[in-house]
């Protein structure tokens, strides 16, 4: 008994030491998540959300934090019990508005800047979201779900226990939700201490959503500075037309005339994220030129609000932009852009171009380095924003516009990270089979010893157009992989943005072509190192990365000893007939499988056509609520592996979509992930 007790004690001490010195699935969920920063009207104070997770309760709580603009005097001003959402300063700076479910449904609340005096402002039967104050404080806007169409329950009211749903058009389900006959609409209400009826549905019962579902938010709704009109984003299409098009528009609603007009008629791709200049003379937004291509170049467009003239800004730059911020004098625009698998802040100085246009006078980067800047706001002579790296989750920083000096403002995870060892992140340029230089990240174990040999993972990115940048993922976390004693090879293969539009476009209609060669170039080059164990190579990935795993399983010629595919596309023919956003399939695959001209393309690009060459252990992960890449894809792949007698495992979540978002599901995912890898690579 004494021996057992001592052994147990030593094991516990060993585990505690490991937990403190290495990133684990459990302590990954202990990290605080920082987002939603808002600058006070006087530029002196910042509020932001800090979300913490309670793993044992399988939930998270978003707290409202406040600090001075220099990063001092940080404190929590919400009650710490219920989550606070979408917090923002009232235009006069005397109140902070936020959304809370404290009363049962999501309603607007307000508090004093010190956190006192929390008061419920709205009390609707339905919950609200995406609220914004009009700059003159005479109105607020918000969104609510509106029942527009008749359901079977309405039609057959005498059958209250019946569960059927009926549809006669496409988009009957989207990402994780079946269509429930409601649409999200923008509402306007007169602002006072208490808000109730009447309220105005400015979309007048239309069968459209704003913001665009499922990921659009308040960035798609903006008040004009005079408070007399509102611009919102909407793709006013339904059914098949919605499924095959990305053509969203900017719509302006006039409060006095109650009329709505299309500001972007003639633009055929995505138009998104409108931002007025402070003087109201100009409207900037992001626009994609090609209909049906969700990963097209995001260009900045400007509209002269007096003359209606509109024009692209920085059209000659081979970069996509996001998070547009105007200077107070409307003479400068700040924006985020991806460059070589990092995201940086850029400054665009503006000057007049004729009577009613603007052009760039000077263009420069305010930041550089291996990091991702995720969001920015202006506070006097500084920019405040969120930044992370592969080795550090997001914190708030300030950048001095003149000196470009960077200062970390929040330190929500410093204490915990100080106890953890992180592996070296190395940037390599690897030659591809067509002679191009490909940026590849190589991440090493924290206690890397070059005299040892390490199992090595090829990481396959999803998207397919989504850069392998300096993201800090809570699922595909490279430092967590490294902490489990793996070397990770993460190439920015063909089709990934931030390397110019040509590189980005080269994957479309060629999923199984050059991108697959790029993967093999990356792993083959790094495998030449003496510290890489060539007998213990694995490949892992999700979405298009999961597709890549399935594809590599048929062409790898014995390189890999195991695979993991999460929510990957396996059979492009059955996927085309079961996914929902068909514009994506039409653009990237070329069109439907029944098109005779695409017969060879489907034969070349669909992994299910190469199952006859599969011979390597594979783990398949797929989730019930993934309608982007439906469950049948994972089931088909797992069944094929089982029938061929290949060691295989299916991990299935009935309550998750394309991602695994629940804390305990996330920890289980990681445990199973590393159990599979360790079985075949260690």
What are 288-335's pLDDT values in tens digits?
Answer: 999 999 999 999 999 999 999 999 998 999 999 999 999 999 999 999
Q: Model confidence over 446-455: pLDDT tens digits?
A: 999 999 999 9
Residue 503 CA to residue 520 CA, distance in Å, equals 17
User: Residue 521: which H helix or E strand, with range?
Assistant: helix 514-526
**Per-residue tokens: 301:** 């467009």
> Has residue 12 got a pLDDT over 90?
no
Query: Using CA of residue 269, residue 274, residue 280, residue 282, what is the dihedral sign?
Result: negative
Q: How confident is the model at residue 21 (pLDDT cuts 50, 70, 90)?
A: confident
Q: Which of 21-25, 277-281, 610-614 has the lowest mean pLDDT?
A: 21-25
Question: What CATH number does domain 421-681 carry, 3.30.420.40, 3.40.50.2300, 3.40.50.1820, 3.40.47.10?
Answer: 3.40.50.1820
**pLDDT-derived band at 6, boundaries 50, 70, 90:** very low
Q: Is the dihedral of CA 257, 260, 266, 270 positive or negative?
A: positive
Computed on alpha carbons and rounded to an integer, the radius of gyration of the chain in Å comes to 26
Tell me what percent of the residues of the chain surpass a pLDDT of 70: 96
Which residue of the set 543, 548, 565, 606 is catalytic? 543
User: Chain-wide mean pLDDT for the chain?
Assistant: 95
pLDDT of 477 reads 98
Q: Does residue 626 carry a catalytic annotation?
A: yes
From 63, 185, 267, 658, the catalytic residue: 658
The phi, psi pair for 670, rounded to 5°, reads -65, -40
Residues 557, 561, 562: CA angle, nearest 5 degrees: 110
Q: Which residues contact 11 (CB under 8 A, 6 or more apart)?
A: none
Q: ∠122-126-128 over CA atoms, to 5°?
A: 60
Residues 348 and 332 sit within 8 Å (Cβ to Cβ) = yes
Any idea how long the chain is?
A: 682
b/e map 441-450, b = 16+ CB within 10 Å:
bbbbbbeeee
User: Cα separation of 530 and 577, whole Å?
Assistant: 46
CB-based contact 100:82 (threshold 8 Å): yes
Residue 389 has pLDDT above 50, yes or no: yes
Two tokens at 524?
Answer: 């083959």
Strands 182-190 and 139-147, sheet pairing = antiparallel
Residue 658 a catalytic site member: yes
Whole-angstrom distance, CA of residue 79 vs CA of residue 100: 11
Mean pLDDT of 459-465: 97
pLDDT of residue 15: 38
Place of tokens 């489990």: 484
Q: What is the pLDDT of residue 196?
A: 64
pLDDT band of 3, cuts 50, 70, 90: very low
Give the mean pLDDT of 654-660: 98
Q: Is 543 a catalytic residue?
A: yes
Q: Give 489: exposed, middle or buried? Use CB within 10 Å, 0-12, 13-18, 19+.
A: buried
pLDDT at 198: 78
CA distances from 663 to 399, 565, 568, 659 (A): 33, 20, 22, 12
Interval 119-159: pLDDT, tens: 999 999 899 999 999 999 999 999 999 999 999 999 999 99
Identify the H or E element spanning 129.
strand 129-133
* pTM recorded for the entire structure: 0.95
The yes-or-no verdict on residue 467 having pLDDT over 90 is: yes
Calpha distance 448→265 (Å, rounded): 57
Cβ neighbours, 10 Å, residue 150? 10
**Candidates 229, 626, 648, 670; catalytic one:** 626
CA distance 418 to 420: 6
571, 606 contact by CB (below 8 A):
yes
The structural domains of the chain, with segments of one domain joined by +, span: 421-681
Residues 271, 276, 282: CA angle, nearest 5 degrees:
90
Beta-carbon contacts of 82 under 8 Å, excluding residues fewer than 6 positions away, are 61, 100, 101, 102
10's tokens:
């030593």
């Amino acid at each position: 008994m004494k021996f057992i007790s001592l052994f147990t004690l030593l094991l516990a001490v060993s585990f505690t030491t490991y937990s403190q010195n290495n990133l684990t699935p459990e302590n990954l969920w202990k990290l605080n998540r920082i987002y939603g920063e808002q600058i006070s009207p006087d530029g002196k104070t910042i509020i932001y959300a800090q979300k913490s997770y309670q793993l044992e309760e399988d939930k998270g709580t978003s707290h409202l934090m406040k600090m001075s603009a220099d990063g001092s005097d940080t404190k929590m001003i919400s009650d710490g019990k219920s989550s606070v959402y979408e917090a923002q300063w009232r235009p006069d700076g005397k109140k902070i508005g936020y959304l809370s479910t404290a009363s049962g449904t999501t309603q607007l609340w307000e508090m004093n800047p010190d956190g006192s005096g929390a008061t419920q402002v709205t009390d609707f039967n339905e919950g609200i979201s995406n609220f914004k104050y009009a700059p003159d404080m005479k109105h607020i806007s918000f969104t609510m779900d509106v029942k527009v169409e008749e359901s079977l329950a309405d039609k057959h009211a005498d059958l209250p226990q019946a569960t059927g749903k009926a549809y006669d058009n496409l988009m009957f389900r989207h990402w994780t939700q079946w269509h429930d006959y409601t649409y999200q609409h923008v509402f306007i209400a007169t602002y006072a201490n208490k808000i109730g009826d009447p309220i105005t549905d400015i979309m007048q019962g239309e069968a459209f959503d704003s913001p665009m579902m499922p990921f659009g938010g308040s960035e798609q709704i903006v008040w004009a500075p005079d408070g007399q009109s509102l611009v919102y984003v909407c793709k006013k299409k339904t059914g098949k037309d919605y499924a095959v098009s990305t053509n969203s528009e900017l719509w302006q609603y006039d409060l006095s005339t109650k009329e709505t007009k299309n500001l972007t008629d003639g633009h055929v791709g995505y138009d998104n994220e409108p931002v007025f200049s402070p003087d109201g003379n100009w409207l900037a937004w992001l626009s994609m030129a090609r209909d049906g291509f969700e990963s097209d170049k995001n260009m900045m467009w400007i509209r002269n609000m007096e003359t209606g003239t509109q024009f692209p800004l920085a059209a000659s730059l081979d970069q996509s932009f996001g998070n547009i911020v105007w200077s107070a004098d409307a003479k400068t625009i700040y924006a985020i852009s991806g460059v070589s698998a990092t995201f940086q802040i850029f400054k665009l100085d503006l000057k007049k171009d004729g009577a009613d246009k603007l052009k760039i006078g000077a263009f420069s980067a305010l930041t550089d380095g291996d990091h991702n800047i995720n969001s920015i706001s202006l506070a006097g002579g500084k920019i405040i924003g969120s930044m992370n790296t592969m080795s550090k989750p997001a914190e708030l920083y300030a950048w001095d516009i003149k000196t470009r000096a960077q200062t970390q403002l929040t330190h929500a995870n410093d204490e915990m990270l100080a106890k953890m060892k992180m592996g070296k992140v190395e940037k390599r340029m690897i030659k591809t089979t067509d002679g191009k230089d490909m940026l590849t990240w190589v991440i090493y174990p924290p206690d890397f010893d070059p005299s040892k040999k390490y199992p090595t993972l090829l990481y396959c990115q999803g998207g397919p157009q989504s850069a392998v940048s300096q993201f800090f993922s809570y699922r595909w976390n490279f430092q967590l992989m490294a902490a489990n004693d793996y070397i990770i090879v993460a190439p920015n293969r063909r089709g990934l943005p931030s390397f110019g539009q040509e590189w980005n476009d080269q994957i479309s209609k060629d999923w199984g072509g050059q991108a697959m060669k790029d993967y093999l170039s990356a792993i083959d080059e790094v495998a030449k190192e003496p510290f890489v164990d060539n007998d213990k190579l694995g490949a892992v990935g999700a979405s298009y990365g999961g597709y890549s795993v399935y594809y590599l399983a048929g062409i790898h010629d014995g390189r890999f000893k195991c695979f993991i595919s999460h929510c990957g596309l396996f059979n492009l023919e059955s996927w085309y007939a079961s996914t929902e956003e068909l514009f994506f399939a039409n653009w990237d695959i070329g069109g439907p499988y029944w098109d005779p001209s695409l017969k060879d393309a489907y034969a070349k690009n669909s992994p299910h056509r190469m199952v006859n060459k599969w011979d390597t252990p594979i783990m398949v992960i797929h989730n019930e609520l993934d309608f982007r890449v439906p469950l049948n894809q994972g089931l088909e792949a797992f069944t094929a592996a089982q029938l061929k007698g290949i060691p295989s495992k299916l991990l299935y979540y009935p309550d998750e979509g394309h991602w695994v978002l629940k804390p305990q599901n996330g920890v289980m995912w990681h445990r199973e992930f590393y159990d599979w890898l360790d079985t075949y690579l260690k």
